[in-house]
């Protein structure tokens, strides 16, 4: 955690722009001008350009030749596709992690879930969302397949970047979500087979998506 300014400038630029997108400082549709970003960061355009192209490969920005880059994801169907993809990856990641999750992990997840329940009482959607991420991180982090883990994280980032424009907290759904978390933990504790866990985890996210959609209508 002694993050000492990190490595190359292209990586710094990548991290900086990515953070701004994920945090919502750059909203979808925001136009990313290379020269401007370079000036803001005090770098030259070359490393910034590289950073932008990397973000493009991750789907966070859209790039058009001789025109420039914009933060992608204005389209609401985009959100649906991202959620669907993430539900598949997450389900698999959770199922693969499950056999490796120990009692300490379960306890940690329960603590997070308790905090989430607390957020329901005091209506704190922002904190709730962050805790939700923490909860699922516990369920993923033991996943032995690095590719899948990477895809999960990319999905989360992508979702976060879209969230600022599309996300709406659904209180009614949130309560059910917390209960499903507990159910998931019980399945894992009980050593349920991978298929059951995968399906439950996927369903969990699908239900959240449905809640968003029904509210949007």
**Binding positions for DNA, rule: CB under 7 A:** 8-10, 32-36, 38, 43-47, 49-50, 65-69
What are the backbone dihedrals phi and psi of residue 64, each rounded to the nearest 5 degrees, phi first? Answer: -130, 135
- Please, which of residues 170-209 interact with a copy of itself by CB under 8 A? none
Q: What is the spatial distance between Cα 175 and Cα 114, in angstroms, rounded to a whole number?
A: 12
Contact predicate 94/139, CB 8 Å: yes
Q: Compare residues 7 and 102 and give the one whose CB is closer to DNA.
A: 7
Within the chain, how many helices (H) and strands (E) appear? 9, 3
- Which one of 16-24, 81-89, 113-121, 208-216 is the stretch in contact with a copy of itself (CB under 8 A)? 81-89
CB of 201 to DNA, least distance (A): 38
Strand 31-32: give its sheet, edge to edge. Answer: 31-32, 68-71, 61-64
Q: Compare residues 39 and 193 and give the one whose CB is closer to DNA.
A: 39
Contact predicate 20/26, CB 8 Å: yes
Q: Compare residues 72 and 166 and give the one whose CB is closer to DNA.
A: 72
Interaction partner, residue 102 (DNA, a copy of itself, none; CB < 5-8 Å by kind): none
Q: What is the spatial distance between Cα 84 and Cα 129, in angstroms, rounded to a whole number?
A: 18
**Residue positions counted in the chain:** 217
- Please, which of residues 30-49 interact with a copy of itself by CB under 8 A? 46, 49
Is residue 15 close enough to count as binding a copy of itself by CB under 8 A? no
Judging by beta carbons within 10 Å of its beta carbon (0-12, 13-18, 19+), is residue 69 exposed, middle or buried?
buried
Q: Compare residues 63 and 167 and give the one whose CB is closer to DNA.
A: 63
Q: Compare residues 65 and 147 and give the one whose CB is closer to DNA.
A: 65
The residue ranges that bind a copy of itself (CB under 8 A) are 7-8, 10, 46, 49-50, 53-54, 57-59, 65, 81-82, 84-85, 88-89, 92, 145-148, 151
């Amino acid at each position: 955690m002694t993050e000492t300014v990190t490595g190359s400038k292209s990586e710094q630029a990548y991290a900086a722009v990515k953070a701004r997108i994920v945090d919502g400082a750059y909203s979808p549709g925001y136009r990313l001008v290379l020269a401007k970003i370079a000036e803001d960061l005090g770098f030259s355009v070359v490393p910034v350009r590289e950073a932008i192209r990397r973000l493009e490969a991750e789907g966070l920005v859209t790039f058009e030749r001789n025109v420039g880059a914009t933060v992608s994801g204005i389209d609401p169907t985009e959100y649906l596709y991202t959620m669907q993809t993430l539900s598949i990856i997450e389900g698999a990641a959770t199922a693969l992690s499950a056999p490796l999750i120990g009692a300490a992990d379960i306890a940690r997840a329960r603590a997070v879930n308790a905090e989430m329940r607390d957020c329901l009482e005091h209506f704190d959607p922002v904190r709730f969302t962050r805790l939700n991420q923490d909860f699922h991180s516990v369920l993923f982090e033991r996943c032995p397949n690095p590719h899948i883990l990477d895809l999960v994280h990319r999905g989360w980032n992508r979702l976060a970047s879209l969230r600022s424009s599309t996300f709406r907290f659904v209180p009614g759904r949130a309560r059910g979500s917390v209960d499903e978390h507990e159910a998931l933990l019980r399945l894992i504790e009980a050593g349920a087979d991978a298929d059951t866990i995968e399906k439950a985890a996927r369903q969990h996210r699908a239900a959240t998506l449905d809640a968003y959609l029904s509210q949007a209508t």
